[in-house]
Each structure stands twice: as structure tokens, then as C-alpha cells.
Structure 1
Amino acid sequence: MESEIDFIDSRKASAAFKRTSKQFTHVPATFEEAITATEFGKYNVMLAILVMLASFGAVLDTSTMSYTFVAAQCDLELSLSDKGLLNAVTYAGMITSAMLWGFLFDVLGRKQLLILGFLVDAVFVFTSAFSQSLLLLLITKYLQGLIINGPFAALSSYISEFHCAKYRPIFQMIIGTSISLGQVLLPCLAWLVLPQPLDFTLINLNFHSWSVFLLITGLPAFLSGIVFTFCPESPKFLMTCGENEKALEIFRKVYSVNTGNPPESYPIKSLLDETKVSMDGSHVTAHRSKGQALREGFQQIKPIFFKPHLSKISLTCAMMLFIVMSQNMLRLWLPQIFQIITDYQLVHEESANLCTMLESGTLKPSNATLAEECVVNNNNSKVYINSIIVGCTAMIGNALAGTLIRFIGKKKILLAALTTAGIFSVSMYFASSEELAVAFSSIFIACGSVANNVMVSVTVDLFPTTLRTMAIAVGMMIGRTGAMAGNFVFPYLLASGCEPPFFVVGAFMIAAALVSLLIPNTDMKALT
């Protein structure tokens, strides 16, 4: 029944687009009708490019340490547990700020906070490049997580609120593909910079190749913040706040860019006053001040923890916990695992099964197999090549899912991706060669990435505008709590043997697949 209702909502939006200008003059349009009438064109393509840049900046905050601590382990005297801490501390920052960011974006809007978030994050990334000790690097990574959590969560809401139900899931998969592209470009950048003998002193500060690497990784967030200054506010958010004239002006501009027609020819002449529509008992004052927005915001977030949204947020949090924790437990340690494999092959001049190679290098830093003194093995092109293969597979997986999602549906893709990820995580234990280990980990990461992005798209559909970013933020907070805990534990799982890390990660993915059966179908559902 719910699927039929969602389909009818979509048919209504499509039918609304076919109304005459005269009809639109007399009938206030809903958001779904208004955004459908803007059509699809150049503006949406420009948004896709911006989303790719912003997503790349966001993924760097959680992924750069995977490559940095391999190169910096001698300069900063890093132990295996220190590396786990560096992987986890960014998530600690994200957890700290999740609720605050979700609240602020839902009551104050998207644009200004997106600008502020990306620019401040860039400042902290640039600061991390000046780190001379583990402590300063930990502090700056924590602050990056504290800041980037908001803009990244709001990105999904922002992009969804510029597209109708037909294109909304596709653009969520574009975010996933962009993140995967970032996981391809990041090892390429690391391969280009980290092996270089870049050691110099500037103003009594010692710089190394990993310092330059971190400096470069701050550029995407900085550029995203600049570009967002030229973007409009979300029209859906403006309608929710009663700013219909501003929203209508944005619709006209988007329509004009997409079609090449003058803005005045936009067929819709008036919009539904959403401030007069009760949303779960909450009230939104039209043309409200920032103070009113904050006061009303506290009232608006209450429904998320009560019926009918309590069951939805519980499901969302459970899914995000299992998916984000299991995916990032393995994803962030793959470069280190590949480094251990490379070191084993260099010392023993032969390959072996994955477990044999891991057991030879997990109880001590990878460089210790090469010499008693701390020496970083820079003859490690395979580390970057394997990481690029993993990233390419994830990118292809997201692109394929983005193509199929309209025909198969979100729920079926989610179930298939989670089940496959669980199977291939366990399969890594049985990998008899480096090639099989890379293949199995690639499929795992691809399926985990698809599942993560489909789940965010489902969350967007499950909640109304006033709760949407908060719901995503809460779900991500729970997921990142798991990711933080997982990265604390993963070094000890590795040290305890070959079975625990892969079986534990696989079990969480299978658990997520089972929980996904309880999620309602949101295909073609109109935004509220």
C-alpha cells in the first residue's frame, strides 16, 4: 500500500508539470510540482560537479591518515595503536558535533553553514600539515571531524532539495560515486607525493612529504566553500520557512538555466504555503527571525524521538551503525594491510596467503621487518596500485547502482549490497594470494559504499524537511560512533589473529542486511 501511495505521489507531480500556465496561476504548487517543472539540465549538471568536489573534500578528512601514518610513522614515532587512534579521532569529532550541526542546518538553512563549514574545515586541514608531534596531529584531526560532519550531512539534504523524486536517488548515488572517486584520486596523490624525499625546514618547523600531502588535501574543502557562496539557498527550506517568493525566484532561475527560456516563462506562479500545514504538530513561523528559528527548532526536533518517527530513526541508527562501522573498520586499514603485504614480499622475496603475511607484520610496525632502526619502505607502489583498484571498483559499483536503482528499487539494492559485502569480508580470510585479497576487499568496499549511500537516500525520504538533516546527522553520529570504536579495536583484532577482523566485519554487514528487511519502501516518494 505504501509503495502504491508513493507511486501516486510521483504521478501527481509529473501530471502537475503538464498543467497549463493558467492552471498554475490559480493553483498553488507543492514543492514536488515546482521542482519537477524546472526540468533537468545544465543547472543539475553544475550541481553534480559541485557535489563531486565537496564529497571529495569530505572523504579526505577520514581517509588521509590511512596513507599519512605509513609515511609519518618514523617522524612521529607511531605505534600500531597510535595509528588506530589517528583513524578514530576524526570520528570522535564528528560524534561530538553531530546533533548540533543537524539542528542548525534544519533551523537556519543550508547555504551559509555549508560555506562556513567547508572553509573552516580547510583551515584545520592546512593546520594539520604543520604538525610536529602526534598530539597536534590528533587535535587537528579531531577538529576536522568536529567541523566536516555538518556540511557533509547537509550535502545530501541540499542536493535532494533541488531534484524531484525521479532524480533524487540518482544524485545520492552521485555522492557515493564521488566519494569512491576520491578514494581513487587519494592514493594517486599519495603515490605522487609521499615517496618523494621532501624534507626541509621552514621557520623552525620540519616539513616532510606527508606534510605537503596534507596541505594539498585541504584544497577541495577550501574550493567547495568558495563555490557555495555563489549557490542559492535550498528552495525547499525556504518554502518550509514561508519564504515562498524567494523560493519561487530560485525555481525560476533553475528553470531558466535548464531550459534556456526566460525566467518569466516558468509555468508555476505561486507556491503552497507550507507554514500553514501542520508537520507532526510542529509550527513554523513565516518570515521568522534567526532567534525564532532557534526557538522553534527545539520544538521541531522533538518529533524525531516520538511516534511515528521513533521507529524510523531507530531503524536508521541501527543500519548506519552496522554499515559505517564495518565498512570503515576495514577500509581505513587497507593501506596498512597492503603495506604489510609489500613488506613481507620484499623481505621473503615471495608471496603467501593473506593470513601468513598479516601474522608476520601486525604485531610490530611494518618497517621493523626491514631493519632494526625505523626506516619507511618507499618501494611500495603496490600499496597505491591496490588502493586505486579498490577505489575504482567502488566507483564502478556506485555508478552501476545509480543506473539500476530506478528499476530495481532502493530496498532490494540495499539488501543485495549488504549481503554481498558480508560474504566477501569473510572470504578475505580464505584469500590464498595478494590478488584474491585485493579482489575480495574491492568488492566488499564497493558494496559497503553502495549500501551506505542508498541508506542516506532512504533516510532523506523517510523524514520531512524540518527533521531531515537532523535524522541524517543522528544516523551518521551513531554510525561514526561505531567507526570510532571499530578503529580502536581493529588493531587488537589484527594482533589476535587472522580470523577475528574479517569475521567480525562480515557479521556486522550480515546483521545490517537482516535489519534492512524492516525498512519501508521509499521508491518514488515525494519530499514533504
Structure 2
Amino acid sequence: METEVDFIDSRKASVISDVKSLSRRVSELDPATFEEAIAETKFGKFNLLLFVLAIPASLCTVFDTSTMSYTFVAAQCDLELSLDDKGLLNAVTYAGMISSAIIWGFLFDVLGRKKLLVIGFLVDSIFVFTSALTQNIALLLVTKYLQGFIINGPFAALSSYMSEFHSAKYRPMCQIIIGSCNSFGTAFLPLIAWLILPYKIDFFVGDYSFHSWNIFLLVSGLPAFTSGLFYMFLPESPKFLMTCGQNEKALEVLRRVYSINTGEPRGSYPIKLLIDETKLNGNSKHGGKVTAQRSTTQALKEGLQQIKPLFYPPHLAKVCLTCSIMFFSVMSLNMLRLWLPQIFQTMTDYQIMHDGASASLCTMLEIITPTNSSISGKCVVNTDNSTIYINSIIVGSTAICGYILVGTLIRLLGKKKILLVVQCLGGGFCIGMYFSQQPSVALACSAIFIACGSLSSNIVISVTVDLFPTTLRTLAIALGMMIGRIGALGGNLVFPFLIKSGCEPPFFVVGGFMIAAALLSLLLPNTDMQALQ
């Protein structure tokens, strides 16, 4: 016979089960939260379409920051590039990213994701195409800066845009997909370079001379251009529309996604009402008020108020922590990533100079020099660089495998545990490069380090998405990336001095920064399966 206690316990279990369910059925008179509404759209063709479109969109940032690493060898004679010029060209894109981070984060959280995604990618493609017309280093520096200034926004918004079309069950996969696409870019870019740069291409159009590296830069702008066109046909984020009080538009987007995913008519979508988030957001002590059906001017004014909560408790501590982790993680990753082609070139030069003989990485780095040589006072470009491209493709492919592995484990172990593992592994393998006695071992260590570093920064972005509400989310991501890129900028300027000071400093310092990121990650809260607010 069931006792009263048994009855109460069974009711408690039933209530707990109902609370945990993200896809509970709601009556037509019961307003649904965003999490309930997005769960009812299911996972299907629309989500897969977002993942496919993430490929060219994610390539843009990789191409903008990495093309110079492969352009230097081919363009150094045409543009008379010194080592200082190369370092400056590597860093100037990050300078553009740093200077625009807050602006883009503010605009995306105020004006929406879609509109500025389209504008951002199309304008970035214009600057990339302009860089392909470069005849001197001054124009190249300006266009690379502007590329960094523009692309920072679409990259930050892409994470929020994709996350806001997925329920909590699938949300951790979004940043993994974006990171996988980034890693694909690190493998795809050297393949493009390999197909174009070794060939001698010289032709004139009026007063403009064009070479293989001009064609390479032109091709690198295609992902941004196609992304801008594709996103024209996608809807605005339903979460952003709800935050702005545009519930009817949000419902229409949700019905459309539901229909695409399930094949059912839009009218059969079970959610009929959404909660009014403008009332929920209007009680913030330090700003954050959002007026329903607001105008653009009113959105800008309220956006200024929405920035304030980011720098007050409880968000201030989270901002400081995520930014600190991003600083060490992104700095460590890009200090080595952008100099790997130069390191691979040095390894190739050493083996050519010593009739194919092998040596430790430290021994090979003792001959690090510019890749051009002088014959009778004439600048000569060495285009026999297939090893550089092959090694770079291996590094990028390893990172892709890392994302596939983590994608299968992240839902089992959680973001925080995975983050700690990849950061500790990355730091260890970077230091391991110092002890490598064979080029193949150095290549393996560098590949694992790049994979772990890329995973680290993308998982931190995913955690940031969970930690902050919609009106602060993209701004928090942009701020974190700005701090990380400050580290990348400084790291790339410092790295040549580390190499000159000996073999130990580059690898121990870079590895130490990644381990420092791991220590800070211990302080992160567990955000797995957290509802998107």
C-alpha cells in the first residue's frame, strides 16, 4: 500500500523529471521560454545548413590572419620585404582586430546578428580583393589592418548566431564545428598556396603588375564574399528577436526552422506564445533595459546602457576570468602558429645545406635566416617549398582530427574537463619540441600543440556563450578575443627576440603560457547543459 511519503516522493520525482525536460509540451495559453521554443524546432536540415555555411565563414578569419605567412617568400623580392616588414605584416591584422572589438560587439548586440554578418563579410572581401592589387608594402599594411578591423565582428557574432539556433543539447557542438572549420582552414590555406605560389606568374594590366602572390591573395577573399551572399538568405536569430520584444517575428523564424527540420507545416509548430523577455530584462540594476519594438536610434541608446552590466557584479568577475584565459591561450597559440612556416623553412634549409642530414630542432634553428638569397646582387625567391606546405597541411589536419575527437567526448566529459586536458597537453607538447631530435618529432609536437591551442580558444568561446545573457554575449566574446589578440600581437613581436636569445625560451615561454591558461581554467564554473538566457 502506497504511503503518503511514497506518494510525495513520487510526485517530487515527477516534478524533477518535468523540470529537466527541455522539450516539454506547453499549452497554447502558456508562454514558452526560448529554451523550450528552440527545443521544439528539433535538429534537422536547417541546423546542418548552418554547419555547412560555417565552413566559408570560419575560413575568413584564418585566411585574414595567416595569408602573410605564405605570401612572404613569394613577395619578398617584389615588395623588398625585410624581416621587420614581415613581422609588422603578421601583427597588423591583429591590430585591426583589437581596435574594433568593442565596436563590433556593441553593434551586433544592438542591431542584430544577420544584418551586420552580411555587411561584415562583404566589406572584408572588398579589402581582401584590394590587397590583391598591392604594388607596395604601404597599401598592403593598410588593407591588412582594415581586414582585421572588419573580420573581428563577423567572427564574434558567428558563435552567438549558431548557438541561438540550437537547444542546450546540441549547443556545445556549435563552437566545436566552428573550430573544426578553422582547423580545416589551416590545412586548406597551405594547399591553396602550394597550388599557386610556386609557379612563376607575371603579367601587367595597365601600370599594375601581378604575380602569383597577387592571385593567392585574390583567391583568399572568396570565402568572405560567398559568406556575405549566403547569410543574406538566412533569418535573424530568434533569441535576439525575443530579447528585442519582437516575439511575432521570433515565432515566425521558429516556425520556419521547425518546418525545414521536420518537414511538417509551419502551423503545426506546438509553441503559440513566447514569454516577454523585455520585461525580464528591464530590471537590471546597472542598465540592460530593452524596449519592445524599438527603433534603431533607441536601440543604440539602450545599447550603451547594456554595456554597463558587463563591468559590474556578477558579470565583472566572469569577464576578467574569460579574458585572462583567452589572453594566454590565444597568445600562446599564435606566437607559434604564425611562425611555423618559417620554422619549417629553416628545417628544409638545414637539410639542403647538409645533404639531407637530420639534426635536433635546436641545431637546425641556429641557421634561421631570410628565405631569399642573393646572386650577383639580385634578389632570388626560393620556390622549392613543398615541405613547408606539406607540414602545414599535416598540422591543420591534426587539428581537424582533434575537433572530431573532442566533439565525441565533450558531451560525456563536459567543457571544463576537456578544456583543462587540451591546455595541459598543448603546453606539454610545445615544451616537448625543445627536446625533439628529429624533424618528424618536432612536426608531431607542433601539430598536437596547434590542435590543442585551437581547441582551447574555441572551447573558451563556447563557455563564454553560456556564461553571459544575449544582450552581453557577443560583446563578451568580442572583448575576450580582443584581449587574446592583444596577446597574439605582442607575442608575435616578441617571438623573434625569443629565438635570438636561444632555443629554450621560445618553446618554454609559449608552453608556459598555455599551462597558465589551464591554471586559470580551474576557476571556471561548470556550464554544461546550461539554458541559453
TM exceeds 0.5? Answer: yes
Give the counterpart of 1:280 among 280, 284, 290: 284
Q: Which moved more, 1:303-312 or 1:334-343?
A: 334-343
Q: Distance in 1 between matches of 2:42 and 2:338?
A: 40
Equivalent residue, structure 2, for 1:312: 318
Q: Is the 8 A contact 2:464 2:477 kept in 1?
A: yes
Alpha-carbon distance in 2 for matches of 1:369, 1:427: 35
Q: How does 1:53-452 map to 2 (within 5 A)?
A: 53-278=56-281, 280-281=284-285, 282-349=288-355, 350-361=357-368, 364-368=369-373, 373-452=378-457
1:467-514 superposed Cα distances (whole Å, 9 cap, x missing partner): 000000000000001101111111222222211111110110010000
AA partner of residue 451 (structure 2): A
8 A Cα contact 1:36 1:164, kept in partner: yes
1:161/1:235 contact within 8 Å kept: yes
Deviation at 1:15, TM superposition (A): 2.9
Identity across the alignment (%)? 65
Residue aligned with 1:360, SS:
coil
SS at match of 2:81: coil
Shift of 1:70: 2.0
Secondary structure of the corresponding residue to residue 233 of structure 2: coil
Structure 1 gap segments, 5+ residues each? 1-7
Once the two structures are TM-superposed, the CA of residue 371 in structure 1 deviates from its matched residue by 8.5
Shift in Å at residue 224 of structure 1?
0.1
2:475 is aligned to 470
Q: Is the 8 A contact 1:109 1:233 kept in 2?
A: yes
**Aligned mates of 1:473, 1:268 — CA distance in 2:** 33
Distance 2:18 2:284 in 1: 23
Corresponding residue of 2:458: 453
> Bigger shift: 286-295 or 201-210?
201-210
Q: Which moved more, 1:439-448 or 1:127-136?
A: 127-136
Contact 1:91–1:484 (CA under 8 A) maintained in structure 2 = yes
SS in 2 for 1:164: coil
**Normalising by structure 2, what TM-score?**
0.95
- Post-superposition Cα deviations, 1:172-202, rounded to whole Å, max 9, x if no partner, equal 1000000000111111100000001111111
Question: Structure 2: which amino acid aligns with 1:473?
Answer: A
Residue 14 of structure 1: how far off its partner (Å): 6.3
User: What is the count of residue pairs matched by the alignment?
Assistant: 516
CA contact (8 A) 2:24 2:36 kept: no
**1:521 maps to what in 2?**
526
CA contact 1:90–1:145 (8 Å) conserved in 2: yes
- Rounded to whole Å, the distance in 1 between the matches of 2:96 and 2:414 is 34
Equivalent AA in structure 2 for residue 435 of structure 1: S
CA contact (8 A) 2:73 2:372 kept: no
Quick check: 2:18–2:24 contact (8 Å CA) kept in 1? no
Supply the distance in 1 between the matched residues of 2:38 and 2:201 (Cα, whole angstroms).
51
**CA distance, structure 2, for counterparts of residue 370 and residue 254 of structure 1:** 63
Q: 2:299 is aligned with what amino acid?
A: A
Report the Cα distance in structure 2 between the residues aligned to 1:290 and 1:128, rounded to whole angstroms.
Answer: 33
Distance between the aligned counterparts of 1:489 and 1:16, measured in 2?
A: 49
Q: Return the TM-score normalized by structure 1.
A: 0.95
Counterpart check, 1:42 vs 2:49: no
Structure 1 runs of 4+ aligned residues shifted over 6 Å read 8-11, 369-372
| Residue matched to 1:4 | none
Report the Cα distance in structure 2 between the residues aligned to 1:348 and 1:99, rounded to whole angstroms: 51
Aligned-pair CA distance for 1:17: 2.2
Inter-CA distance 272–384: structure 2 relative to 1 (3 Å threshold): same
Q: Distance in 1 between matches of 2:259 and 2:347?
A: 55
Partner Cα distance (2:376, 2:329) in 1:
39
Q: Can you give the 5+ residue segments of structure 2 that lack an aligned partner in the other structure?
A: 1-13
Q: Give the match's secondary structure for 2:366.
A: helix
Could you tell me how far 1:374 is from its partner in structure 2?
2.5
Q: CA deviation at 1:369?
A: 8.7
Q: Distance in 2 between matches of 1:233 and 1:191?
A: 38
Q: Closer, same or farther in 2 for the Cα pair 1:496/1:77, shift >3 Å?
A: farther
Instruction: Say if 2:415 and 2:459, in contact at 8 Å, map to a contact too.
Output: yes
